[in-house]
Structure 1
């Protein structure tokens, strides 16, 4: 499989991919990703070069967003002073479930973060999705804390505030990586 940067013309494909994942989560009883994701916000992250696609021929097998920018209100100033990269929107197509592609995408992200000079690979997960939290723990992440206060989109309570991290490190991910080399973090050692 090949991992590439997402392109602006793929916004509709990525939104449909997210809808598929939201439907699967809904079937499991989770309200995660129940609100539509704004296309303009997705386009901005694609144009920033932080959205990546895992491709199996012409089929999108997975996607991940990896950014040096943390979501506001989650991490402390001390934590933000540490070189880190942040994962979000990790999704694997249902037809590829059970193949550990999510784990390989996490390894790819950790390797890329390491090459950028990051000390940590960090994420925030849905606060009520205990299955997802257990998955990240099984992938070597350590729970840092859960942030529930603050406001999310539309002024509601924060729903994605289960924080976890693992060291950024070189890893074999078994993908053909066709992404540009990561930019060095400005505060990396």
Structure 2
């Protein structure tokens, strides 16, 4: 899928509720289609708003409709250990909440979004793109490997939606 060049942009803080609605729709879709609950509890609107204010939230938009979103920051998440990575101290970007509207999934927008994530990260000076994905979601695991991401390791993390530790897979890609 190809969108116009201005279709990928930072979300304004006032758009946080629209981004949150998209994330909620994706969470419900994951739960309904796959029976997975890792996105079942919505991300707090305050978190999305604060990250939008910091310039970390991006949207993929066409004709005013949000087709997808991602959050990209440059701080090692607390759940990660630096020695888990190939070059622990190299400049890196950390991807969170890559989502595509459920009604248009499967048309290449996720791959397009990842290419845009990589572009934004490179332009910000990152040498690596890193993130985790829910290990029980076999489809997303396959998708990320097809996009050239290296699987580094599995680790345990507790999400509010799960209420107990579960396994996540850590990925990275040299930019």
Verify same fold: TM over 0.5.
yes
Per mean C-alpha deviation after superposition, the further-off stretch among 28-37 and 159-168 is: 159-168
- Secondary structure at the counterpart of residue 42 of structure 2: coil
TM-score, normalised to structure 1's length? 0.80
Deviation at 1:31, TM superposition (A): 1.1
- Residue 70 of structure 2 aligns to a residue whose secondary structure is strand
Aligned-pair Cα RMSD in Å: 2.0
Matching residue of 1:164: 171
Answering whether residue 42 of structure 2 is matched by residue 33 of structure 1, we say: no
Return the match for 1:44 from 42, 50, 68.
50
The one of 138, 144, 148 aligned to 1:140 = 148
For residues 113-152 of structure 1, the C-alpha deviation after alignment (integer angstroms, 9 at most, x for no partner) is 122221111111113212211111111101000111x655
Partners of 1:120 and 1:157 in 2: how far apart?
Answer: 30
Residues in 1 aligned to 2:103 and 2:45: alpha-carbon distance in whole angstroms: 24
CA distance in 1, matches of 2:160, 2:37: 15
Residue-pair matches, total: 167
Counterpart for residue 59 of structure 2: 53
Q: 1:59 to 1:160 in 2, by over 3 A?
A: farther
TM-score for the superposition, normalised by structure 2: 0.86
- Equivalent in the alignment of 2:138: 130
1:11 to 16, 20, 23: 16
Q: Larger strand proportion, structure 1 or 2?
A: 2
Task: List alignment gaps of at least 5 residues for structure 1.
Answer: 169-189
1:112 to 120, 125, 136: 120
The offset of 1:36, in angstroms, is 2.2
Contact 1:15 1:39 in 2 (8 A): yes
The higher relative CO (CA closer than 8 Å, separation ≥ 6) is in: 1
Contact preservation (8 Å) 2:39, 2:161: no
* Shift of residue 7, structure 1, vs aligned partner: 1.1
Any residues of structure 2 matched to 1:55-70 within 5 Å, and which?
55-70=61-76
Given candidates 10, 25, 29, the residue that maps to 1:24 is 29
Aligned position for 1:72: 78
Structure 2: gaps (5+ residues): none
